[in-house]
């Protein structure tokens, strides 16, 4: 009888009638997480305005894996063990690639958990770098995730006809995209942005030469 009552939500209906209010569902605390990734400025990472510095990573590939997670998540792309192998761990000497993925991801997870635990002043464990249905997720649904990367802003400014926007784009490009990360996933993006940067310089030079000629005519 009790099993039937629970399965048909009878107990909640009964109690709602008694107390004239809804029964509260289990509470899940939602945390806001804002990640700013400066791919065009030495791959700096800020989480809720606090920098996740290089010295916190436990292994050489940890930061590149985390940046891959950020970029793929921002673009709405799936992250799988196969994609991590193909894009980051393809040149490793270890033949057991999937086991290596588990090890590398766990090291990234430890750093991320530790950083967030300090940030939120409470222990964060199961809510980051989740593996479900053969796919990885940066955070759980209990976190409100907002990712901002400088690449989109750079592209937007480069396409503008406003000279001030072009100047801002020039100032944004501190380094090549994902500098020093020679992974498959970053190479094509880096080359594309280099081309845009070269075109941007041409536009700026053309503008200033035209401005110089106009000033000469006025004088």
Domain boundaries, the chain: 31-212
Q: What is the mean pLDDT of residues 192-211?
A: 94
Q: What is the pLDDT of residues 151-186, one digit of tens each?
A: 999 999 999 999 999 999 999 999 999 998 889 899
Cα distances (angstroms) measured from residue 49 to each of 52, 204, 209: 9, 32, 40
Q: What is the arrangement of strands in the sheet containing 143-149, beginning at the earlier edge strand?
A: 50-51, 44-47, 31-38, 143-149
- Judged against a pLDDT cut of 70, whether residue 217 lies above it is answered with no
Query: For 55, phi and psi rounded to 5 degrees?
Result: -70, -10
Give the closest residue to 36 by CA, choosing from 186, 182, 155, 153. 153
So what's the pLDDT on residue 94? 63
Local structure of 179: helix, strand or coil = coil
* HSE-CB of 83 using CA atoms within 13 angstroms: 13
Res 90: pLDDT: 82
Which comes out higher in pLDDT, residue 7 or 66? 66
How far apart CA 125 and CA 110 sit, in angstroms, is 9
- Percent of all residues in the chain with a pLDDT value above 70, rounded to a whole number: 82
CA distance 169 to 171: 5
Burial class (CB within 10 angstroms; exposed 0-12, middle 13-18, buried 19+) of 183: buried
Task: For residue range 93-110, list pLDDT tens digits in order.
Answer: 666 888 999 999 999 999
CATH number for the region 31-212 comes to 1.10.10.10
Question: Using the 8-state DSSP alphabet, how is residue 137 labeled?
Answer: E
Output the pTM of the full model.
0.82
Q: What is the mean pLDDT of residues 119-137?
A: 94
pLDDT digits (tens, 9 = 90+) for 1-54: 444 444 445 544 544 554 455 444 444 567 899 999 999 999 999 999 999 999
**Residue 149, helix vs strand vs coil:** strand
pLDDT-based confidence at 219, cuts 50/70/90? very low
Smallest CA-to-CA distance from 181 within 63, 16, 11 is with 63
Residues contacting 49, CB < 8 A, separation 6+? 34, 36
Q: What pLDDT, on a 0 to 100 scale, did the predictor assign at position 27?
A: 46
């Amino acid at each position: 009888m009790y099993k039937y009552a629970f399965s048909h939500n009878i107990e909640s209906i009964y109690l709602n009638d008694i107390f004239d209010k809804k029964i509260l569902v289990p509470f899940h605390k939602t945390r806001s997480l804002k990640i700013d990734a400066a791919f065009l400025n030495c791959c700096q990472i800020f989480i809720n305005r606090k920098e996740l510095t290089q010295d916190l990573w436990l292994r050489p590939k940890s930061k590149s894996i985390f940046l891959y997670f950020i970029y793929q998540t921002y673009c709405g792309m799936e992250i799988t063990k196969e994609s991590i192998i193909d894009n980051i761990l393809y040149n490793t000497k270890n033949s057991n690639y999937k086991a290596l993925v588990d090890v590398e991801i766990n090291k990234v997870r430890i750093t991320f958990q530790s950083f967030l635990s300090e940030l939120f002043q409470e222990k964060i464990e199961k809510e980051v770098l989740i593996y479900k249905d053969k796919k990885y997720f940066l955070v759980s649904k209990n976190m409100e995730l907002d990712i901002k990367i400088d690449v989109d802003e750079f592209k937007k400014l480069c396409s503008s006809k406003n000279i001030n926007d072009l100047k801002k784009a020039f100032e944004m490009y501190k380094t090549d995209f994902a500098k020093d990360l020679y992974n498959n996933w970053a190479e094509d993006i880096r080359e594309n942005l280099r081309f845009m940067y070269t075109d941007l310089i041409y536009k700026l030079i053309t503008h200033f030469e035209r401005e110089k000629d106009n000033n000469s005519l006025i004088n």
